[in-house]
Amino acid sequence: EPEVTQTPSHQVTQMGQEVILRCVPISNHLYFYWYRQILGQKVEFLVSFYNNEISEKSEIFDDQFSVERPDGSNFTLKIRSTKLEDSAMYFCASSERTTFSGNTIYFGEGSWLTVV
Amino acid sequence: SQKIEQNSEALNIQEGKTATLTCNYTNYSPAYLQWYRQDPGRGPVFLLLIRENEKEKRKERLKVTFDTTLKQSLFHITASQPADSATYLCGLPGSSASKIIFGSGTRLSIRP
């Protein structure tokens, strides 16, 4: 079964450093998402992306965050200057169509980011 | 603002019994509702979707109901097994239709 793949699975970084989390969505999917889950908390929406632009972003997704689809397969999340509170599991997800129609979102296994 | 509430307390039940999880929402009328399963350290996995015009949906041992008047969905696992132990998330479409918003999840433990 097709799956969303994410790298790295775990990254430790120093506060203030830039981090790029990478994702390969399912190949025929057109809608891409990043979610975040702080340890013990809920899965929170960060950003959705379609047709090479952001569809929607949450309040969490401030100027320190950016997303990019640099080629036909990868989808990246960049955190420009990491803070301690950015420590979390980051999930990439994709869907074939918009969530408006009730389309299923498929999640990757996550990238665990630890900021020290 | 849109709010989704799931029982934050863990649910512990005996193997073979039916587990029932609740999802309540306020301040909007979603066209559908989804349930996902999340194992520790893993990404959520889609289980079932139920639309606003459907009262009930079944998939193997899973059953979901959707009451738009009560603004509530119930998620049932019949003949529960220890392998069903996980956190179950309720997800609803955001008003902008470009995201799914999740509740905090209910952790289910099935004891042998």
CA–CA distance, B52 with B34 (Å, rounded to integer) = 11
Q: Is B99 on the interface with A (CB under 8 A)?
A: yes
pLDDT (0 to 100) of residue A33: 97
Q: In angstroms, what separates the C-alpha of B79 from chain A's closest C-alpha?
A: 26
- Residue A63: CB atoms within 10 Å: 7
Q: Is B59 on the interface with A (CB under 8 A)?
A: no
- Nearest residue to A52 (alpha-carbon basis) of A74, A36, A81: A74
**Is the pLDDT at A1 greater than 80, yes or no?**
no
Q: Give Cα separations from A65 to A56, B10, B108 (angstroms).
A: 13, 34, 34
Q: Which residues make beta-bridge pairs with A90?
A: A36, A111
Hey, are the CB atoms on A55 and B98 less than 8 Å from each other?
Answer: yes
Q: What is the pLDDT of residues A23-56, one digit of tens each?
A: 999 999 999 999 999 999 999 999 999 999 999 9
Q: Which residues of chain B have a CB within 8 Å of the CB of A48?
A: 98-99
Terminal-to-terminal C-alpha distance of chain B: 41
pLDDT (0 to 100) of residue B51: 93
**Is the pLDDT at A110 greater than 80, yes or no?**
yes
- Alpha-helix residue ranges (DSSP H) falling in chain A: none
pLDDT (0 to 100) of residue A25: 96
Average pLDDT (B43-68) is: 95
Q: What is the pLDDT of residues B19-40, one digit of tens each?
A: 999 999 998 889 999 999 999 9
Q: Which residues of chain A have a CB within 8 Å of the CB of B45?
A: 107
Task: Record the tokens describing residue A75, joined without a space.
Answer: 């989808």
| B-interface mutation test, from A32, A42, A92, most B Cβ less than 10 A away | A42
CA–CA distance, A65 with A67 (Å, rounded to integer) = 7
Hey, are the CB atoms on A100 and B31 less than 8 Å from each other?
Answer: yes
B8 band by pLDDT with thresholds 50, 70 and 90: confident
